[in-house]
Structure 1
Amino acid sequence: MSTTSAPPRRVGRAGISALGVLAVATGALESVVTPTLPLLQRELDMTPADGALLSIVLLITGALITPVAGKLGDRFGGRKILTRLMTVVAVGGLVSALAPSLPFLLLGQVLQGAMVGALPLSFILARKHLPAEESKVAIGVISGLFVGGGMVGTLAAGPVAEGLSRHWMFAIPTFVVIAATVAVSRLLPTDEPGQTDKTRLDWAGLLLLSGALVTLMLALSLAPEVASRPLALLGLLVLLGGLVIGWIAVERRAAAPMVDLRMLALPTMWRSCVLTFVICVGTSAAIYLVPQLLAVPTADYGFGASATEIGLLLLPGAVAAAVAGPVSGVGVRRLGPRAVVTIGIVLLVTGLIGVAMVHTEVWHIVVAKTLIAFASGLCVTALVTNVATSVAESDTGIASSLVLVTRVVGYAVGAQISGALLTVSTPSGSSVPAESAFVTGFVLAGIVSALAIIVTRTMKKEVTS
């Protein structure tokens, strides 16, 4: 008698639609802070450095969770891990919605960061329950809907926060996340756990890296107060050094490290990581500084833009970033990664230095921000493609995780340094930083980004196909 198990049940359009709605909701929930950051700073009495920290904690959690979520999904089943991860996201969204102060809002954002793991888990489900060609289409649609959700969040956050309250801009997408998660759990079949990888997960490495990133962010946010709190800053730096040393030791010994440090010796990897870090430092400075500059009152040197207006003004940049991905993919195939990254760096530096020199009209800032977003998308996509096609297929996940962590560190450092610049340049008794702080921030970001050209000179010229 045959003992062959029945094939897995196919997932219908309703199940894929539930994953799509979840992607839109998580994308929206991820993006609501950026256009409303000046509003949040006013309502919660935050310094610019506090605002910079708030803008990146979700990203840090996401970078740490994503590789773990993918492994857990392969091992225990995508639907099971996805629903549990979204439960954490829902709790985080509700904490953010009800947060009475900055510490609670930071906690909510940390929990919400688990949403970034939803994409690889959704891809696992699509591949397991759809034929190969249909799964490719579904994965592309889900990815596109996540980006679309980010645009919805950017546009809707301001009107919701100003028309209702800041609490509702977190609550509404959270309610949609909860509804979509329930639909996913009911409409998608249970997928069988994978049997290919039983290696113990690198929990120690994850914990140490988390501690190191959080400590780095706290140290950068405390930098403007170094004169009054030197011992606190010194203690954080000592702790950071200890965590980094411990993390390196653990990763070198782990059977399946979260980040394989030995891969950094590969020319493609160290170049890609250095370029990713430098480019993301420059990009994140613009992401943080532009909304702050737009919100400066017109009585000073700014434009007095509301949260709603900031969202509208940021939309062209969000569209440019979405378009940059496929454009970069075509460029890499035709010109090679070196050419695409070089072009992207030139555009990035042009945008940063341009907005530093000329920012007297709103359109100056919108054009520069759009150019910066497009350039960053070109560079990051080309670098990820270069890594994915240059390492062994079995190492793709580890290599991608390494680039992802580097990307997050770059974003975090750029935002925190920008926030510290504005904090130290804000006169006592005022909430408006000196205009020179913005100029300095954009110029520094441009100089740092320009240094990436040195590394691109060492990249190979070949076209990938």
Structure 2
Amino acid sequence: MTATDDAPAGAVLPRGRTVRFGRLWIGVLGILALALGTLQSVVEPALPLLQRELGVSPAEGALVGNAVLVAGAVVTPVAGKLGDRYGGKRVLVWLMAVVSAGGLLAGLAPNLPVLLLGQVLQGVMVGVLPLSFILVRKHLPVGQSQAAIGVVVALFTGGGMVGTSVAGPIAEGLSWHWMFALPTIAIIAATLAVTRLMPHDPPIRSDDRIDWPGAVLLSGTLLVFMIGLVRVTSGGLSPLAAGVIVVVLAALATGWVIVERRAASPMVDLRMLAKPAVWHSCVLTFVITISSGMVIFLLPQLFAVSADGYGFGVSTTDIGLYLLPGAIVGAASDSVGGFAARRYGSRAVVIVSTVVTTATMIALATTHTAEWQLVLAKVLAAFAAGVGTTALLASTATTVDAEDTGIATSLLVVTRVIGVALGAQVGGAILAAVTDSATGLPTESAFVTGFVVAGLVGALSLLVVRIRKEGVRA
């Protein structure tokens, strides 16, 4: 059997290549996804260690993980268009070059600004996953492409679990620089293999322009907001300086909205928000992921607080092990969310997930004296957030018109990323604002406040669901 038996018409495969060879490039693409997932996830368990090593506050530390999310929110909507215009394989290699540069820069970073720059460059990896789906679909028939996409997603998710598990041993056995460098070396090797083995795909002529002004304004808005939040909560900022930050933020946000409304091919089609189903789903996703982002940030911090006080003094390696069950359950919740939405409806799923999240956070605010309590809270919160947001994504995809599915779901994905980033930054701001004057470390009341706020923010979903129900009745 030749390669043409394994590929649809139009696939660019050299004559004489076998099906086995086609499966080989899918395999190296999966290995690339595994390495990317590993690189993306090493920060979460190691964040307290990074804060100590770099001498930064929790609010500044939150920027390390958020830099990847912000860059990803900007790159993801334009990655597919770049692939169409210049060829998917070529753009994939370009993106991997940027990610590799970011990983090596983070691995050599002497301070926080350099590490943040490396994280921003690494954030390009978020756009690689949907681009790889497009490439698989171009070169394989439907049945085989679905299986190949499943393999890539599974390995990316598995990479997240690997990163959570190995970040501590690498950071403690070598140094925190190596937890960025080692996955980056694997990414470089996998990219070279993809370059050698993956068939080329021809560019697709298109009159759609890439919305670079929108991308620049969105990234500027998010970065100014997060950096401004850090400066305001860290103290020492004059009212005038705070006012300037607010004015700049408002100007950037307003400019982005104007650009997106006027662009012929916007990176985020805000006109979709005029549809009630999309608007409500975006608001619910935003609320749920803010709460989830706060939990993602607060739990490793509480694990790492010295056992002499109210914390546990857990090492980076053990933090990774404690977070691993939540990572596994969170990955499994995506498939459960889609099934639950079809079986019970997205409204019922969101209500249940909100109740679970709120109850978990209130319980955690009152009782956090044992490691198992935090592990259980992480599992419940990850499952609830994953099920709720996936149910909304599945419901929206089947509610809007077929031609609007991609636009609506991409809007939800961007909302999800921004919500998690904002939640982590709010959690960091709370810890930075309530510290012990003697030690400079967050007080126990700071964590209690953070968990209560996360629970209350999650509970807002019930209000949005109620408003949505009344709107449907009207």
2:36 to 6, 17, 26: 26
Name the counterpart of 1:173. 183
How far apart, in 2, do the equivalents of 1:428 and 1:321 lie? 37
How far apart, in 2, do the equivalents of 1:228 and 1:236 lie? 11
- CA gap 1:162/1:7 in 2 versus in 1, 3 angstroms: closer
Which amino acid is 1:179 matched to?
A
2:97 to 61, 66, 87: 87
Asked if residue 97 in structure 1 is aligned to residue 96 in structure 2, the reply is no
How far apart, in 1, do the equivalents of 2:200 and 2:303 lie? 48
Asked if residue 353 in structure 1 is aligned to residue 362 in structure 2, the reply is yes
Asked if residue 334 in structure 1 is aligned to residue 327 in structure 2, the reply is no
Deviation at 1:178, TM superposition (A): 0.3
Name the counterpart of 2:291. 282
Ranges in structure 2 where 5+ consecutive residues have no aligned partner: 1-8, 14-18
Asked if the contact 2:83/2:91 (under 8 Å) is kept, the reply is yes
Name the counterpart of 2:385. 376
- CA gap 1:6/1:169 in 2 versus in 1, 3 angstroms: closer
Name the counterpart of 1:8. 12
- CA gap 1:43/1:344 in 2 versus in 1, 3 angstroms: same
Q: Which shows bigger deviation, 85-94 or 355-364?
A: 355-364
Name the counterpart of 1:60. 70
Q: Which shows bigger deviation, 363-372 or 256-265?
A: 256-265
How far apart, in 2, do the equivalents of 1:431 and 1:310 lie? 22
Q: Which shows bigger deviation, 237-246 or 427-436?
A: 427-436
Q: Structure 2 matches for 1:36-47, cutoff 5 A?
A: 36-47=46-57
2:192 to 163, 182, 198: 182
2:401 to 387, 392, 407: 392
Name the counterpart of 1:264. 273
Asked if the contact 1:206/1:258 (under 8 Å) is kept, the reply is yes
Asked if the contact 1:25/1:149 (under 8 Å) is kept, the reply is yes
Name the counterpart of 2:3. none
Q: Which shows bigger deviation, 335-344 or 131-140?
A: 335-344
Name the counterpart of 2:4. none
Deviation at 1:401, TM superposition (A): 2.6
Asked if residue 247 in structure 1 is aligned to residue 256 in structure 2, the reply is yes
2:213 to 204, 208, 217: 204
Asked if the contact 1:78/1:125 (under 8 Å) is kept, the reply is yes
Name the counterpart of 1:405. 414
Q: Would you identify which runs of 4 or more consecutive aligned residues in structure 1 move more than 6 Å?
A: none
How far apart, in 2, do the equivalents of 1:226 and 1:294 lie? 26
Q: TM-score, normalised by structure 2?
A: 0.94
Asked if the contact 2:231/2:237 (under 8 Å) is kept, the reply is no
Share of identical aligned residues, percent? 55
Asked if the contact 1:226/1:233 (under 8 Å) is kept, the reply is no
Deviation at 1:226, TM superposition (A): 4.7
Deviation at 1:337, TM superposition (A): 1.1
How far apart, in 1, do the equivalents of 2:234 and 2:241 lie? 10
How far apart, in 2, do the equivalents of 1:389 and 1:40 lie? 43
Which amino acid is 1:190 matched to?
H
Q: Which shows bigger deviation, 390-399 or 30-39?
A: 390-399
How far apart, in 1, do the equivalents of 2:429 and 2:374 lie? 21
How far apart, in 2, do the equivalents of 1:124 and 1:402 lie? 18
How far apart, in 2, do the equivalents of 1:369 and 1:448 lie? 17
Q: Which shows bigger deviation, 249-258 or 220-229?
A: 220-229
Which amino acid is 2:275 matched to?
L
Name the counterpart of 1:300. 309
How far apart, in 2, do the equivalents of 1:315 and 1:115 lie? 22
The number of residue pairs the alignment matches comes to: 456
State the Cα deviation string for residues 6-51 of structure 1 (Å, max 9, x = none).
7532761110011000000000000000000000000000101101
Asked if the contact 2:11/2:201 (under 8 Å) is kept, the reply is no
How far apart, in 2, do the equivalents of 1:412 and 1:128 lie? 33
State the Cα deviation string for residues 75-130 of structure 1 (Å, max 9, x = none).
32211100000000000000000000000000000000001111111111111111
Name the counterpart of 1:78. 88
Name the counterpart of 2:126. 116
How far apart, in 2, do the equivalents of 1:228 and 1:16 lie? 52
Asked if residue 238 in structure 1 is aligned to residue 242 in structure 2, the reply is no
How far apart, in 1, do the equivalents of 2:336 and 2:55 lie? 41
Q: Structure 2 matches for 1:116-155, cutoff 5 A?
A: 116-155=126-165
- CA gap 1:424/1:74 in 2 versus in 1, 3 angstroms: same
SS in 1 for 2:309: coil
How far apart, in 1, do the equivalents of 2:141 and 2:411 lie? 31
How far apart, in 2, do the equivalents of 1:434 and 1:94 lie? 35
Which amino acid is 2:328 matched to?
V
How far apart, in 2, do the equivalents of 1:32 and 1:6 lie? 40
1:222 to 231, 242, 251: 231
How far apart, in 2, do the equivalents of 1:443 and 1:31 lie? 26
How far apart, in 2, do the equivalents of 1:322 and 1:279 lie? 16
Which amino acid is 1:146 matched to?
F
- CA gap 1:342/1:287 in 2 versus in 1, 3 angstroms: same
Asked if the contact 2:354/2:461 (under 8 Å) is kept, the reply is yes
Deviation at 1:225, TM superposition (A): 3.6
How far apart, in 1, do the equivalents of 2:59 and 2:439 lie? 15
Which amino acid is 1:212 matched to?
T
Deviation at 1:438, TM superposition (A): 0.3
Cα RMSD for the two superposed structures: 1.5
Q: TM-score, normalised by structure 1?
A: 0.95
Q: Which shows bigger deviation, 382-391 or 209-218?
A: 382-391
State the Cα deviation string for residues 240-295 of structure 1 (Å, max 9, x = none).
11111111111111101111111111101110111011111111111000000000
SS in 2 for 1:457: helix
Asked if the contact 1:258/1:398 (under 8 Å) is kept, the reply is no
Q: Which shows bigger deviation, 132-141 or 414-423?
A: 414-423
SS in 2 for 1:177: helix
Q: Which shows bigger deviation, 309-318 or 186-195?
A: 186-195
Asked if the contact 2:35/2:186 (under 8 Å) is kept, the reply is yes
How far apart, in 1, do the equivalents of 2:163 and 2:364 lie? 25
- CA gap 1:186/1:242 in 2 versus in 1, 3 angstroms: same
2:437 to 416, 428, 433: 428
Deviation at 1:448, TM superposition (A): 1.1
State the Cα deviation string for residues 315-371 of structure 1 (Å, max 9, x = none).
010011011011111111111111111111111112211111110010011001110
Which amino acid is 1:36 matched to?
A
Which amino acid is 1:74 matched to?
D
Q: Which shows bigger deviation, 449-458 or 6-15?
A: 6-15
How far apart, in 2, do the equivalents of 1:169 and 1:233 lie? 36
How far apart, in 2, do the equivalents of 1:215 and 1:385 lie? 32
How far apart, in 1, do the equivalents of 2:324 and 2:214 lie? 37
How far apart, in 2, do the equivalents of 1:71 and 1:220 lie? 33
Which amino acid is 1:108 matched to?
G
Asked if the contact 2:234/2:432 (under 8 Å) is kept, the reply is no
Name the counterpart of 2:6. none
